[in-house]
Amino acid sequence: MPRPYKSYPLERAPAYFENDYRDVVKLLEEKLHNYIRLNSRLRSHIGNRRRFLENKHDAIHINLIEFSERYRVKFIDPNFEGYCLKFMELLRPVLLDFVKEIGYNARGFTYHFRLGPKLFERNQTVILLKEDHKY
C-alpha cells in the first residue's frame, strides 16, 4: 500500500527541533510592543500601538500616521528618512535581545515605514558578537 505522504530523504529532512523564524514572529512583535509601552516618550504620542507596529514573517511594518499630528510635524515631516533610520537604531537593542533569546547568531530584518503616501523600506542585520552572548 503506498504512503499517503511524501517522505523526505534523510539528508534533506530538517531536524524537528530547529527553530523556524515563523514560529517566533509573535514573540518579536510582543517584545516590540512592550518596548513601546515602556517608553513613555513614544507611548504618549501613539494613538493605537497595535496599528502602529505589526510584525509579520517578511518585515516589521511601522505605520507612522499613528503618531499625533503635533509629533509628526515636529519630528517626522522635516526629515522622513532620517527619522526612520533613527527609529531603526532605537529598536536595535530589542532586536539584539530577541536574536539572542531565539538562539541565532545573526538575523536580517526588513522595515517598512509608512506615512500616508510616503514609504521607506530598509534592511538591518543584527549580529551577535562574543560579548553579546553573555547573560
Sequential DSSP letters for the chain: ---SSPPPPTTTSPPTT---GGGGHHHHHHHHHHHHHH-HHHHTTBS-HHHHEEE-SS-EEEEGGGB-HHHIIIIIGGGHHHHHHHHHHHHHHHHHHHHHHHT-SEEEEEEEEEETTEEEEEEEEEE--GGGG--
How many residues comprise the chain? Answer: 135
pLDDT tens over the chain, length 135 residues:
555 555 444 444 444 444 566 778 899 999 999 999 999 989 999 988 889 999 998 899 999 999 999 999 999 999 999 999 999 999 999 999 999 988 888 899 999 999 999 999 999 999 988 665 554
Is 2 part of a structural domain of the chain?
no
Domain range for 120: 21-133
pLDDT at residue 102 in the model: 87
Is 16 part of a structural domain of the chain?
no
Q: Give the C-alpha separation, 8 to 134, whole Å.
A: 37
Is 80 part of a structural domain of the chain?
yes
Is 69 part of a structural domain of the chain?
yes
- How many angstroms from the chain centroid is the CA of residue 70? 26
pTM for the model: 0.78
Is 112 part of a structural domain of the chain?
yes
Number of domains the chain contains: 1
Q: Give the C-alpha separation, 135 to 133, whole Å.
A: 6
Nearby residues of 88 by Cβ (< 8 Å), 6 or more positions away = 111, 122, 124
Is 71 part of a structural domain of the chain?
yes
The helix-helix angle for 25-38 and 80-102 (nearest 10°) equals: 120
Is 44 part of a structural domain of the chain?
yes
Is 1 part of a structural domain of the chain?
no
